Structure 1
Amino acid sequence: MTNKDITNIEDIKLLVDTFYSNVRKDELIGSIFDEKIGDRWPEHLEKMYRFWQTVLLDEHTYSGSPFPPHKQLPVEKEHFTRWMEIFTNTVDSLFAGPLAEEAKLRGQNMAEMFNHKIEYFRHEAKHPLL
């Protein structure tokens, strides 16, 4: 059976719930998420539903800046690589089509941008201009 593409909020919820279930079980990044999010998982998942609904379905339900909560996380390139592996595997296991491919592309772009920005802010903290 061929997977269908991402088409509605139920698909987004399935993607997000499955992805974060996989993340929480992961030895490398699971504890980072659990420590940061704590008992606020329902709130985090709701925010992620709105974020991906806005990004993939062009239904503007998310507002805010996704980067600031990640700025101080104790993560390196290997953590973003693992995040992307889990995300790609999750998308591929559930969906196939243009929006599924778009989700993976957006995820990759976000992982790379967050990694670069975190590295930049760490460097700036060690070497301020003034």
Structure 2
Amino acid sequence: MSIPPRFPITRDQIADVVATFYSRVRKDTDLGPIFAAHVDNWPQHETKIMGFWCNALLHERSYNGNPMQAHMDAGNVKPAHFAIWLPLFDSVLTEKLPHDTAQSWSALAHRIGQGLKFGLETYTAKPGDVPNLAG
């Protein structure tokens, strides 16, 4: 028995969003250098992220990485970068997808982003730092 998608979306739509997003990331003055420091093979990276989103949206078993660990290990990903990443991602979703689909995917992306941001804040916190619970 297969689990239905979280909301109506196809693999082709996911692929289009991922490709468009990373095309824009490469041009972004803040995010571009961060990714360039870690991504040598863009098609391979996009395939990996495509697997992540197909797993999250279509319930496929196409991703087995650890996004939190990857972001922590990068060393140059900061909590503040999510304030750049998420609006850029939202702009691609809005451009490429029907309104309800874009809104549903955006809500999930924001939940994931908040979790990653919180994890990075916790990982980089110094003893005595007050946690940022405002999100």
Which TM bucket (shorter chain)?
0.7 to 0.9
Deviations 1:52-102 (A, max 9, x none): 111112222222322111004323343111100100000000002443222
Find 1:79's aligned residue among 71, 78, 81.
81
What SS does the corresponding residue of 1:64 show, helix, strand or coil?
Answer: coil
Q: Pick closer, same or farther for the CA change 1:6–1:14 going to 2, 3 Å.
A: farther
Q: Pick closer, same or farther for the CA change 1:13–1:6 going to 2, 3 Å.
A: farther
The TM-score normalised by the length of structure 2 is 0.80
> Which structure 1 segments of 5+ residues have no match?
none
Aligned residues: 121
Instruction: Give 1:116 shift.
Output: 1.1
Corresponding residue for residue 32 of structure 2: 30
Identity of aligned residues (%): 29
Counterpart amino acid of residue 124 in structure 2? R
The TM-score normalised by the length of structure 1 is 0.83
| Ranges of 4+ aligned residues in structure 1 off by more than 4 Å | none
> Which structure 2 segments of 5+ residues have no match?
1-6, 128-135
Q: How does 1:1-130 map to 2 (within 5 A)?
A: 7-37=9-39, 39-72=40-73, 73-123=75-125, 126-127=126-127
| Contact 1:9-1:53 within 8 A present in 2 as well | yes
